[in-house]
Amino acid sequence: MMQDCLVPERISNLLRTIWIGKNMIYLDTIDSTNSESRRRAAEEAEGTVILAEQQTAGKGRFGREWSSPKSKGIWMSILLKPDLSSIKIPQLTLIAAAAVCLALDERSLLLPDQQVKIKWPNDIFLAGKKIGGILTEMQVRDNKVQSVIVGIGLNVNLGEEDVSGDLIDKATSLYLETGRVQQREPLVAGILNYFESLYLQYLTTEELGETLTICRQKSAVIGRKVDMTGEKIGQAAEVLDLGPQGELVVKLDNGEITSLISGEISILLQDE
Ligand code: BTN
């Protein structure tokens, strides 16, 4: 399948943002847009978006590799310099996940029986498989957040040839699930538009507000039994809700109700 390259001007024309994406750096090939944002963090303005056609060393959470074939997905990073305490930074992952869902819904790209889901905190799921993910990284100096990089990956037009091997049961793309090749530019713009609006809401109110509503509505885990790995290693739990800070409220097997913040754990749906 031949893939068109992104045209940054076409994205810019669709932006309704005040500052996110106003500075857009478009690259053909890079190791990782997150790594590149980090290298440029000191000199580039807040809201700078780095977008690449392909990544040669795309990164996922927990040091995993993120496959980013040329011109088939959205591989981008948003550079932020918020005046927030570091404990509030993981919330930006939820904001990005909500923005991706809203952008997909706005474009009505999915089939009538399909619903995009968020597997807390950072996986975007469609039809029980992963179509996207968020990787939020921050630089902290003297206890102060210097910069935050919100990396967003979305498998748009990946074909069967791109999700073979290990990925086959786990990953999919919009194209594979809907049978239609999708234009990437309006989706990029949509994600950035929604991201800015939810992010500004968060900065001004210090509450997740609408993000929380969307993450609850789209949750792939609320009401489900999960296995957790991490600090509470090996524990099984039932997910009850998302708390006001976006934390996962779970009931452990021993009946204890506790909340978990992202970064602490990784969860596996029990029938996965
Ligand atoms: C995950 O689900 O584990 C997170 C995946 C994040 C992938 C995106 S693609 C753009 C940005 N650059 C990277 O190297 N990773 C993120």
Q: Quick one: what percent of the chain has pLDDT higher than 70?
A: 94
Ligand 1: centre distance to CA 29 (Å): 15
Q: Cα separation of 132 and 219, whole Å? A: 14
Task: Judge if the beta carbon of residue 69 lies within 6 A of ligand 1.
Answer: no
Task: Judge if the beta carbon of residue 153 lies within 6 A of ligand 1.
Answer: yes
Q: Residue 245, class by beta-carbon neighbours within 10 Å (0-12 exposed, 13-18 middle, 19+ buried)?
A: middle
Q: Cα separation of 117 and 114, whole Å? A: 10
Q: Cα separation of 138 and 75, whole Å? A: 18
Per-residue DSSP letters for 18-58? Answer: SSTTTSEEEEEEES-HHHHHHHHTTTSPTT-EEEEEEESS-
Task: Judge if the beta carbon of residue 37 lies within 6 A of ligand 1.
Answer: no
Task: Judge if the beta carbon of residue 61 lies within 6 A of ligand 1.
Answer: yes
Q: State the chain's mean pLDDT as an integer.
A: 92
How much is the pLDDT for 132? Answer: 97
Please tell me whether the peptide bond between 121 and the residue prior to it is cis, using omega within 30 degrees of 0.
yes
Ligand 1: centre distance to CA 59 (Å): 5
- Distance from CA of residue 112 to its chain's centroid? 23
Please provide residue 75's backbone torsions phi and psi, each rounded to the nearest 5 degrees.
Answer: -120, 100
Ligand 1: centre distance to CA 58 (Å): 6
How much is the pLDDT for 1? Answer: 56
Whether the pLDDT of residue 153 is over 80: the answer is yes
> Which of 29, 34, 188 best tests ligand 1's pocket when mutated (most atoms within 8 Å of CB)?
34
- 17, 192 contact by CB (below 8 A): yes
Whether the pLDDT of residue 261 is over 90: the answer is no
Q: What is the pLDDT of residues 240-253, one digit of tens each?
A: 999 999 999 999 88
Please tell me the residue having the least CA distance from ligand 1 atom 10: 75
Top-confidence residue, 261 or 21: 21
> How confident is the model over 202-228, as a mean pLDDT?
94
Please provide residue 20's backbone torsions phi and psi, each rounded to the nearest 5 degrees.
Answer: -70, 125
How much is the pLDDT for 231? Answer: 63
What one-character DSSP code corresponds to residue 65? Answer: B
Unique residue bearing structure tokens 């296995």: 227
Ligand 1: centre distance to CA 77 (Å): 8
Q: Cα separation of 30 and 187, whole Å? A: 21
Comparing 81-85, 133-137, 157-161, 234-238, the range with the smallest average pLDDT is 234-238
Q: What is the pLDDT of residues 85-111, one digit of tens each?
A: 999 999 999 999 999 999 999 988 899
- 97, 122 contact by CB (below 8 A): yes
- 47, 37 contact by CB (below 8 A): no
Task: Judge if the beta carbon of residue 64 lies within 6 A of ligand 1.
Answer: yes
Ligand 1: centre distance to CA 32 (Å): 8
